[in-house]
Amino acid sequence: APVDFDGDGTPDVLSVYQIAGSWHARGAIAGAGFDDQVIVGSGPAMAAVGGAKVDGDATEEAWVKVGSGASTDLISFYVFRNCQLQRVTLNGVPPAFPIGASLTYAEGLACVTPGAGITVFTVGSSDGTTYTGYASTFTLDLSGAAPALAAGTSTPVSENGSSVGPAFEALSKFSCGNLSTIP
């Protein structure tokens, strides 16, 4: 998948592959320099999603599918800094954000206006029609040894009506820059 790791405006390459039972993410810049990291996730299949800006710098962050379930995909992301592909952490642990929906829940993620962080949606329903929960916003902090998400605001959200409406879909999808599909 294309990701502009170095911010030069030219897409670099994010690859996700399996060797001897271990999944790997590889960031390759200009076809020459690269770094390879083992992916921790629930599987069973993992995939490169692509690049999109989460913070305000010129580089893109690399989005990776790290797991899946019956109606949910799990995604996470990496930054390329100090010549290394580094997985972003939340409270010291690499997060796996669920994306999907059923009759009783909806979970999604959207990048806030380019460079301003991410919003994670977590809503539930007891009747399959009214979904309530929270939209939690996080910013990317690159000041520490490892890239980390810093918690911002958490806002109540509610969607009433059919679970196939556009407002509900916004709560259960992935949308970051030009990315909206998880392989």
Closest CA to 37 of 51, 45, 26, 28: 26
pLDDT value for 166: 66
How far apart (Å, rounded) are the C-alpha atoms in residues 179 and 100? 15
Give pLDDT tens digits along the chain (183 positions).
999 999 999 999 999 999 999 999 999 998 777 899 999 888 888 999 999 999 988 999 999 999 998 889 999 999 999 889 999 999 999 999 999 988 889 999 999 876 689 999 999 999 888 889 999 999 999 999 999 999 989 999 988 766 566 677 778 899 999 999 999
pLDDT value for 163: 57
Give helix then strand counts, H and E, for the chain: 1, 15
Tally the residues of the chain: 183
How far apart (Å, rounded) are the C-alpha atoms in residues 18 and 14? 14
Whole-model pTM: value is 0.92
How far apart (Å, rounded) are the C-alpha atoms in residues 83 and 89? 18
CB 10 within 8 A of CB 4: yes
- The runs of H, that is alpha helices, within the chain are 166-171
pLDDT value for 54: 93
Helix (H, G, I), strand (E, B), or coil: what is residue 139?
strand
